[in-house]
Amino acid sequence: MRPSFIQAVEDAHRRGRIILMDGPMGTELQQSGLDMEKELAHRWNLSHPESVKVVYEDYTNAGAEALLTNTFSAHLGFLRGDDDWLAAIEAGIELARQPEWDHLYCLGSAGSAVGNDAKIIPGLVQTIAALQNCDGVLLETQTRMDRVRDVVDALPFADQTPLIVSFSFSRLRGTSECWIAETPNGTARTAGEVAAWADGQARRLPYLAALGVNCCVNLRLDDFVDIIRDYRKQTDLPLLARPGITSTIECEFNPRELAAQVKDFADAGVTLLGGCCGTTPAHIAAMRQEIDRLGLGWQES
């Protein structure tokens, strides 16, 4: 029998191995006609389930070992009072949990705590509650530590679903600084400060399974590696990286370039690796090949 997700993460972390995740759903669904300006992507679990399934097939064929539910925007459906937001989450879990993929892990995606709506925290808490039956939940693309703290504090302590918290950093053009905003008036936090905070949370939240960096704005690939290194200096938590592409020459990377960083990510301390916005199944396949070539797959003895 396969180990639980948390056992797999801890085993891979201890042995310096990598669990390969999938890539983004939203930018892939755009290829099938999703207009993210007009429609929340999670609603496609109900309206276009075949399109969602095709993306998962592409990622499983690429060698992904964990699939993320198409529920990043579900809390926004809750916020605006959609009557189908919960049904869309349930459909999203079912789509990522096809019987033929029962050897893969299914992680629930809970999205970003941006915006000023007072219901943003309850919306995310309810979304995470609806994702409880996944193998874990990824609270991703976060840019506000204060909001993440509020979400984590509102989660019931008894819950044992592993939670991964992942932040999206920005690099100011022309500088080497990566930062996230702590408050609406923009107090900046470095990766080291984020990791020190997460390390403190881990002491009281036994289900905090990993700390991550995903998506991001104006980051080059080596910025992602640097963030992982900075995280590692402050915490022994397992670490996740899902680099996203910012469409500038400096910040774009092709599958070969991403694969070339696998060794650096592993050396920096990454356990969970995948892709975010703009990466494709080809990026995941290239990382699969490199992980296997280096003998870094967590399932290899």
Give the binding site for Zn ion (CB under 5 A). Answer: 215, 244, 276-277
Cα gap 71→52, rounded to integer Å? 11
Q: How far is the CB of 24 from Zn ion (least distance, A)?
A: 6
Q: Which is nearer to Zn ion, 212 or 297 (CB)?
A: 212
Q: Distances in Å between the alpha carbon of 245 and those of 143, 204, 206, 230, 251?
A: 17, 34, 32, 21, 6
Cα 56 to Cα 22: distance, rounded to the nearest angstrom: 8
Shortest distance, position 15 Cβ to Zn ion, whole Å: 28
HSE (side-chain half, CA atoms, 13 Å) at 54: 11
* 178-181/105-110 β-pairing: unpaired
Q: How far is the CB of 208 from Zn ion (least distance, A)?
A: 21
> Residue 243 CB, nearest distance to Zn ion (Å)?
9
Residue 169 or 207 with smaller CB distance to Zn ion: 169
Cα atoms found within 13 Å of the Cα of residue 6, Cβ hemisphere only: 13
DSSP, residue by residue, 113-174:
--SS-TTHHHHHHHHHHHTTTSSEEEEEEE--HHHHHHHHHHS-TT--S-EEEEE--EE-TT
Cβ nearer to Zn ion, comparing 152 with 215: 215
Pick 107 or 296: Cβ nearer Zn ion = 107
Nearer to Zn ion, 126 or 168 (CB): 168
What is the dihedral angle through the alpha carbons of 68, 229, 244, 57, rounded to the nearest 10 degrees?
Answer: -30
Least distance to Zn ion from the beta carbon of 216, Å? Answer: 8
- Least spacing, CB of residue 25 vs Zn ion, in Å: 10
Name which of 89 and 276 has its Cβ closer to Zn ion.
276
